[in-house]
Structure 1
Amino acid sequence: MLDTVFIYSHGNVMKKELPAKYYLAHFRELIEFVTSKCMHLLEPKHSEFINKINQLDEQSQCMLARVYSRKPYLVQAQSLTYEEIISPHQAIYTLKKAGILFEPNEQHYSQLLAHLTKPALLELLSNYDEQISYKKSAAKGALVNSAREFFKSCPHELAPLYSQYVINNRSDYYEYFEFLFAGKLSSGDVNHQNRFVMRDLGLTATREGHSESLSRFETKAEGQSNYLLNRYRLAFKNITDENDYVALAPQVLVQAAYGAIAVALKNKLLVQLFKQLKNTNSELAFSLLEGCVDDSEAHEIQIREQYRLGNKQWVKARLEAIIENPLTDDLLYFADDFLMRKFNKQTRSRLSTMLADTQCVLEIDELYRGEVEQGVNDYYTGQGMQVFNTENTLWQSLFGLVFWHELFIDTPYPLCNEFDIYPQVLRLGNFYAAQPAQINERLAQCQTPQALLKLVCKNAAQYFDQPNGLFKWHNELLQPLEALILNSPIEALIDHLTNMSKHYLQLKDGYPDLMVIHNGKVHFEEVKAPGDKLRRNQLTTIDNLKSSGFEVHIAVVKWFIDPNRIYSVVDLETTGALKGGNKITEIGLVKVQHGKVIDTWTTLVNPQRHIPGFITSLTGISDSMVSNAPVFADIVKPLMAKLAGSIFVAHNVNFDYGFIKKECEMAKVPFKMPKLCTVVESRKAFAGLKSYSLGNLSKHFNLNLTSHHRALADATATAQLLLLIQKSQS
C-alpha cells in the first residue's frame, strides 16, 4: 500500500506518495545510526534490544515500527492492521516471544480503564450493574474513577481485556535512540517520524550535501544526563497538580549534568521549580537555587530574595563579588544597578546614566499606535534618511555570513545530521574558545569595508537558501548589510563581530529595532512607545554596540495628532474574496488632506485569470475590459509612490490592504502602512445605524456614489464619508 499525502502550495494541490514500508525504512535508518555512531552511549539493555531487533523478520520489524509510531501507552492489537503486514497476529506473537512487546497485566488495570472509550467503559460496567453505582450520562472521567475503584480489588477480572492490547514501550529504549539522533524528545519536542516523512516529501529543510551523521554526545554520562533532564523538563511542562512540583524538585536537584547543554538545562529547570515553590516551600525552593551552577538568573533571584528577607550584608558582599568577577555583562549590569540604588542611595547607576544619555523624544502620529516602529521609520524616511527594520536579523545574518566556514564547514563541533541546522558550537557557547586562531584570521581578512562586503556577498551567493538556524534567506537580505558595512567604521564592525564570537549567547538578540543612514553615517534606534521598558538583554546589547563605537538612540515616542496627515482612500475591485487565489481587477485612490481632495487616481488591472460571471454582473468589469490592462507588477511602483507618506483608508480596510499586501509580496515589493477603517470609525461616529455598508451609508448621508462597485466611485464615496467622520470628531 502507498500512503498518499496531499500538499497545498500557492493554491495548487500536489499529490505525493510514500512507499508502503516507509516506517520500516525510517526505523532501520535510526537503528543504523545508533549502531554505527552511538554504541559508546548505550547501556547493555540497549545493546541487547538492538540485537533482538536485528534477529527479527521483516514483518515483525514492520509491526514494531508501527507500534512505536502510535502515541498511546496501550495499543489495541486488532487496530494494528496494515496492507504491508501480511499476518499481523503472527508479527505480534513473534515480538512477544522475543521479549520486545508485552501484554498489559493486573498492574496496568488503571491505565487500561483510562484507555477505554466511553461506550467500551459502559459495556464493561454493565456486567457489574448490581455491584457498581454509576450513571450512563456521567462524563468519561467519572466512569473511569468508578471503574478504578471497583477493579482495584479484583484487577484479574479484566484478564480478557489484557490480551487484546500490547504495551507501547517505546520509552524504554527507542525514545533514547531518537534523542541521540535528534537531541530532542519525540514525545514532546518534535515528531521524529514525521521529520523523516517530511524530508522524503521534500517539505522540510535539511542540510544540502550532508554526507555523514555524527554522535551528538562524547560520553555515556553526557548523553544520558541530557536525556533524563529533558524527560524532567517535559514532566515539569505537563504538571497539573501543584504537589507534583514538590516531588519533581529533588529528582532534578540530584540529577547529574554533564556538558554545557545539560548544565544550562538543569539550571533552567531549577529556577523554574523555584518560582513554583517559593511561596509554598521556601526551604526546598532556596535549595534549588543553591543547586544552580554559574547561572546569572539564579544569582539575581537569590540576591533579590535575600534582600527582601533583610540579609543585606550577604547581599552587599555577593554584589561586590559579582562586580569584581562577573559571569556575564547582563549580571554585571544588574549588580551595578542594585548596589547603587540599594546601598549607595544613588538613583542613577552607570547603566541608568547611559540610558538617559541615549534617549531622544520623537513626536509620532497616534495612528501608528499599533505600529510604533513603522511610525519612527516613516518619521526618519520623511526627513530624507534611509531606514531599515533590522532588530536581530541584521546582526545574526552578518555574523552567520562572515563566519559561515567556521560555523558550518571547518568546525570542531560539526552538525550531527542532516536535520541539524543550528551550529552546535553556538549552543555550547564556546565558539571563540574552540577556534580563536581561525576567527582572528577571518576578521583579519576584513580590515576594509570592501573586503568585509566581498566576503559577505561571496558566502551569500555560495550558500544561498541553505538552512542555517541563524537567519532566513530572502532576496533583500544583502541590502541592509551593504548599508551597514559601507556606512560604519570598520573598527566598530570588527570589534562587535569579535564580541559576538566571544559572547554569542549574550549578544544573539536584544538589538535595536531600526538602522538609520544619514549623511553617510549609520546609527541605531531602539523604539519605545509610552509605557514600554527596555529588557535586560536589550541593555546589554545596546551598551556593547556603544562600546564598539556605534551610535545608538533610545527613541521614546510621544503621540500627537498630525494636522497635516494625508489620507489615501483606496477601493479595489477583485475576482473574489482574499483567499482562493483571487486577484485585483481595478484600483481607485482618492487622496485627502486638510479636509479636501488633493488627488485622484485609478487603473484597471489585468488579473491574469478569468473574472467570474457574477463578479462581472456586480462590477461591470469583464475579461475583455482588462485584457490589455497592466498587470499589478507594472503599476506597483506608481501605486507605492501615490501611497507613500499617507494613511491607508478603506471601507473594511483589511480586505483592500490584504489584497495589496499579497500582490506586493508576489512582486517582491515591501508594503507596510498605517491603516484606518471607515466601517470601524463610522460605528464610533454614527452609533445606532441599522447598516454600515458603503451603499447604505451613502444613501443615509447622501454621498456621491454614482457607480457603486467601481473602484474610483467607491473610493470617492468613502473619502466623503471620511470627511464626515472627521467633522463629527472636531
Structure 2
Amino acid sequence: MVKVLENPFYYLDNFQQVLQWIAARYDDLLDDAERSFVAQFAALPQPSRALFVRMAMRKGVLFRASKLVYPEIGNTTAAAAPLTELGWIAAGAALALDDVFAVLQKPELAQLFAFKGADKTARKADQLEALRERYPDALPLSGWAELTGGIAPSDTLYHMLMQPLCDRLRLVFFGNFHQDWSEFVLSDLGIYQYEKVDFPPSARGFRTRADIDAYLALHACRERFAHGEPALDILRDLPPDDGNEWLASRRHRLQFQMAQQQEKLQDWPGALALYRDCPYPGARARAIRVLEKSEAPADAYALLEQAMASPESDAERQQLLRMAPRLRRKLGHPKQPATPAAPVVRLDLALPMPPDDWWVEGVVRDHLSAEASPVYYVENALANSLFGLLCWDAIFTPIPGAFFHPFHHGPADLHAADFHARRAAPFAACLAQLDDGSYADTIRRNFAAKFNIQSPFVYWGALDETLLELALACIPAPHLKLWCERILADIQSNRSGFPDLIQFWPDERRYHMIEVKGPGDRLQDNQLRWIAYCAQHAMPITVCYLQWAA
C-alpha cells in the first residue's frame, strides 16, 4: 500500500473506498439521490473529486476559494466547475452575519465593518454580538461591502450543499457519528491499529432504511437537547421503538438524560413519566428518588420493594439499600438491622506534602514501594488489560452485527445486555484456562501478537512486560477469574472502580491492592462495590487515607 504522505490523493482513495464498500453492501438501503451521487462521483475528473472530498472532510459548509489551495488539485476554479454544474456546491452564497464572522479573519472584519478604537480590539465574539441586531439579513460577500460601506476581500465563496448526504454515507459505513474520515489516515500512518475480524460481506450495521432514518432522527434530537432545547419539545419527535435493540438503547439513553433534566427543573411529574417509561440502567432508582422528592414516600417504597426483589445490577442494589432506611423512617416502619459489610483493612498515613508537582496516589506509591515489593499505579488498567488479553478471541468473535467495517475499536454491541450471552461458549473457553493453568501463556501470547491493536479493555500505554510478569506471578488464578466474571456481569459499570495501586511481593508470589484517598476525598460508589467484592472473596485490599503532616 502507498504510504499516506507519499500519495497526495490518499483522502480521495479513502473516500472512494467507502463509496465502493457502501455500494457493495448497502445498495438496497440507499435512496435514489445517494445511488445517483455514487455513480456521478465516479465519473468526475480527478481534481473535482479531490476538491469535493477536501470540502466534505473539513469543518463547516462555507469555503473561500483562497483557502482551498492544494498542489495536487491545481486550479480550484476549474476543479469546482463540474461540482457547480451538478448542484453539489454553489458559488456566491448569501451569508448571514454569523457566516461572515465564520469565514473572515479579524483584520478582514475590521475593514468590512470599519471597526475603530475599542471595537477593533474587542474579541471576535463580542464584535459579533454588538452587530447582530443591526444586520439581520443574509447577503453575498459583495453585498455586505455595499451595505456597510467597508471593504470585503475579493474572493469566491463556495457553499457545500451535499454535506448532509456525505454525513449519511459516513453513518452507513461506520454505524455511528463519532468516527470520521480520520480513521483511515490514523490507520494508514500506523497510529491506530485494528484487529482484523473475518466478517462476511453480509455483515452490516443497519438492517433497513428505516434504521438509518431512525438513527438520524435520534441524532437530531440529541443535538437539539445538547443545545438546550426543552426536553418536552424534543420528546414529541423521538422516533418510536421498532424492535431494533441497538437503536432502542440509544433512545433510552437520551430519554434518561431528558428525565434528569426535568428532575433538575423540579418537574416531578414530567421526570417521573420519563423515568417510568425508560429501561435505561438507573432509571428505576431515579424514579424512586423523584417519588420521594414529590412527597409520595409510600409509592416510592412500593417501587423500591419491587426493585429489591430483582435488582437490575449491583449499582442499583447499592442505591436501593441507601434509600430504603430513609423511606422506612418517613413511613414509620421499624428499623431493619443493616447487613454487616465484609471488613476492609484501613491504612492511615501522615506524610509531608511534596514541594513540587505531586498527586496523592503517586505520593503513597513512592512511600510504600520497595525493591523487594514494588508498587504500581494501575487503577482500572491492569485488571481490564488482563481480562482483555485473556479473552481477546471471545471479544473479537465475529458475531452478526458486532463488526461491519475495518475500523472497530471493539464490538458494536459491547454494552448490549446480551453481549456475554451471545458469546457464552468463547468466554467460557477463555475463563476455563484459569482453571487448567494455560491462561498465562495465552495472555503473554496476545500481549506480543496484539500489541497496540485497539481494544476496549487493554491499556497498552499502562502495561509493560515487567508489570505483566509480576501480575501473572503474584495474582492467583482464582482471583483473576473473579475479576473477569465481575467485569462480564456488567461491562459498563464494572470496568471502573478498581483500586489505584497494586503492590507485589514476587519472592512470596502475593499481591495487595490499595485504594488511596487524599484529604477530603471519599470513596465513589463503583469503588465501594469493588472493595466490597474483593473483601467478600478474601482478596487482599486496603483503603489508605492520606493526610499531610504538620
TM range (shorter): 0.7 to 0.9
Aligned partner of residue 496 in structure 2, secondary structure: coil
Q: Tell me how far 1:403 sits from its aligned partner.
A: 0.7
Residues 1:30 and 2:18 aligned together = yes
Q: Deviations over 1:166-195 (max 9, x none)?
A: 32234321012223333443xxx55x3444
Residues 1:340 and 2:325 aligned together = yes
For 1:154 and 1:381, locate their aligned partners in 2 and report how far apart those are by CA, in whole Å.
68
- 2:254 maps to 269
Q: Deviations over 1:616-655 (max 9, x none)?
A: xxxxxxxxxxxxxxxxxxxxxxxxxxxxxxxxxxxxxxxx
- 1:432 maps to 420
Return 380-389 or 30-39, whichever deviates more. 380-389
Aligned partner of residue 286 in structure 2, secondary structure: helix
For 1:235 and 1:227, locate their aligned partners in 2 and report how far apart those are by CA, in whole Å.
12
Q: Among residues 364, 370, 376, which one is paired with 2:350 in the alignment?
A: 364
Return 286-295 or 531-540, whichever deviates more. 286-295
The answer to whether the 8 Å contact 1:266/1:292 transfers is no
The answer to whether the 8 Å contact 1:273/1:285 transfers is no
Residues 371 and 82 of structure 1: is their aligned pair in 2 closer, same or farther, counting only changes over 3 Å? closer
Aligned partner of residue 388 in structure 1, secondary structure: strand
The answer to whether the 8 Å contact 1:199/1:205 transfers is yes
Q: Tell me how far 1:263 sits from its aligned partner.
A: 3.7
Residues 1:452 and 2:439 aligned together = yes
For 1:384 and 1:252, locate their aligned partners in 2 and report how far apart those are by CA, in whole Å.
63
Residues 1:423 and 2:415 aligned together = no
For 2:434 and 2:306, locate their aligned partners in 1 and report how far apart those are by CA, in whole Å.
38
The answer to whether the 8 Å contact 1:24/1:62 transfers is yes
Aligned partner of residue 63 in structure 2, secondary structure: strand
Residues 1:172 and 2:172 aligned together = no
Residues 307 and 492 of structure 1: is their aligned pair in 2 closer, same or farther, counting only changes over 3 Å? same
Aligned partner of residue 438 in structure 2, secondary structure: helix
Q: Among residues 49, 55, 62, which one is paired with 1:67 in the alignment?
A: 55
Residues 119 and 145 of structure 1: is their aligned pair in 2 closer, same or farther, counting only changes over 3 Å? farther
Residues 109 and 392 of structure 1: is their aligned pair in 2 closer, same or farther, counting only changes over 3 Å? closer
Q: Deviations over 1:526-572 (max 9, x none)?
A: 222232222122223333334445233333345546xxxxxxxxxxx
Amino acid in the other structure paired with 2:82:
T
- 1:100 maps to 88
Aligned partner of residue 505 in structure 1, secondary structure: helix
Q: Tell me how far 1:400 sits from its aligned partner.
A: 0.8
For 1:36 and 1:308, locate their aligned partners in 2 and report how far apart those are by CA, in whole Å.
55
Q: Tell me how far 1:389 sits from its aligned partner.
A: 2.7
Q: Tell me how far 1:316 sits from its aligned partner.
A: 0.4
Residues 413 and 493 of structure 1: is their aligned pair in 2 closer, same or farther, counting only changes over 3 Å? farther
Structure 2, unaligned stretches of length 5 or more? 147-151
For 1:289 and 1:311, locate their aligned partners in 2 and report how far apart those are by CA, in whole Å.
17
Q: CA RMSD in A?
A: 4.0
Residues 1:389 and 2:374 aligned together = no
For 1:349 and 1:263, locate their aligned partners in 2 and report how far apart those are by CA, in whole Å.
38
- 2:132 maps to 145
Q: Tell me how far 1:505 sits from its aligned partner.
A: 1.9
For 1:301 and 1:547, locate their aligned partners in 2 and report how far apart those are by CA, in whole Å.
28
For 1:79 and 1:390, locate their aligned partners in 2 and report how far apart those are by CA, in whole Å.
46
The answer to whether the 8 Å contact 1:391/1:510 transfers is yes
For 1:379 and 1:348, locate their aligned partners in 2 and report how far apart those are by CA, in whole Å.
40
Residues 159 and 376 of structure 1: is their aligned pair in 2 closer, same or farther, counting only changes over 3 Å? closer
Residues 550 and 257 of structure 1: is their aligned pair in 2 closer, same or farther, counting only changes over 3 Å? farther
Q: Deviations over 1:573-623 (max 9, x none)?
A: xxxxxxxxxxxxxxxxxxxxxxxxxxxxxxxxxxxxxxxxxxxxxxxxxxx
- 1:471 maps to 458
For 1:152 and 1:485, locate their aligned partners in 2 and report how far apart those are by CA, in whole Å.
67
The answer to whether the 8 Å contact 1:245/1:277 transfers is no
Q: Tell me how far 1:271 sits from its aligned partner.
A: 3.7
- 1:323 maps to 308
For 2:103 and 2:362, locate their aligned partners in 1 and report how far apart those are by CA, in whole Å.
55
Percent same amino acid among aligned pairs? 20
Aligned partner of residue 196 in structure 1, secondary structure: helix
- 1:8 maps to none
For 2:235 and 2:538, locate their aligned partners in 1 and report how far apart those are by CA, in whole Å.
48
Structure 1 segment 532-547 matched on structure 2, within 5 A: 532-547=521-536
- 1:310 maps to 295
Residues 36 and 544 of structure 1: is their aligned pair in 2 closer, same or farther, counting only changes over 3 Å? farther
- 1:405 maps to 393
Aligned partner of residue 460 in structure 2, secondary structure: coil
Q: Deviations over 1:491-517 (max 9, x none)?
A: 343243233233222221111122344
- 1:551 maps to 540
Residues 324 and 33 of structure 1: is their aligned pair in 2 closer, same or farther, counting only changes over 3 Å? same
Structure 1 segment 675-686 matched on structure 2, within 5 A: none
Q: Tell me how far 1:348 sits from its aligned partner.
A: 7.7
Q: Which of 1 and 2 has greater Rg?
A: 1
Residues 315 and 78 of structure 1: is their aligned pair in 2 closer, same or farther, counting only changes over 3 Å? same
The answer to whether the 8 Å contact 2:434/2:478 transfers is no
Task: Identify which of structures 1 and 2 has the higher relative contact order when contacts are C-alpha pairs closer than 8 Å and 6+ apart.
Answer: 2
- 2:494 maps to 507
Q: Tell me how far 1:35 sits from its aligned partner.
A: 1.4
Q: Deviations over 1:29-72 (max 9, x none)?
A: 22122212333443343223323323333332222112213323
Amino acid in the other structure paired with 2:441:
K
For 1:217 and 1:334, locate their aligned partners in 2 and report how far apart those are by CA, in whole Å.
36
Residues 181 and 560 of structure 1: is their aligned pair in 2 closer, same or farther, counting only changes over 3 Å? same
The answer to whether the 8 Å contact 1:414/1:423 transfers is yes
The answer to whether the 8 Å contact 1:529/1:557 transfers is yes
The answer to whether the 8 Å contact 1:109/1:158 transfers is no
Return 70-79 or 501-510, whichever deviates more. 70-79
Could you tell me the TM-score, scaled by structure 1's length? 0.62
Q: Tell me how far 1:408 sits from its aligned partner.
A: 2.3
- 1:373 maps to 361
Amino acid in the other structure paired with 2:285:
E
Amino acid in the other structure paired with 1:313:
A
For 1:26 and 1:83, locate their aligned partners in 2 and report how far apart those are by CA, in whole Å.
19
The answer to whether the 8 Å contact 1:24/1:61 transfers is yes
For 1:168 and 1:287, locate their aligned partners in 2 and report how far apart those are by CA, in whole Å.
44
Aligned length: 524
- 2:149 maps to none
Structure 1 segment 661-672 matched on structure 2, within 5 A: none
Return 139-148 or 451-460, whichever deviates more. 139-148
For 2:196 and 2:485, locate their aligned partners in 1 and report how far apart those are by CA, in whole Å.
29
Amino acid in the other structure paired with 1:25:
D
Aligned partner of residue 541 in structure 2, secondary structure: strand
Residues 470 and 234 of structure 1: is their aligned pair in 2 closer, same or farther, counting only changes over 3 Å? farther
For 1:283 and 1:93, locate their aligned partners in 2 and report how far apart those are by CA, in whole Å.
58
Residues 1:530 and 2:516 aligned together = no
- 1:298 maps to 283
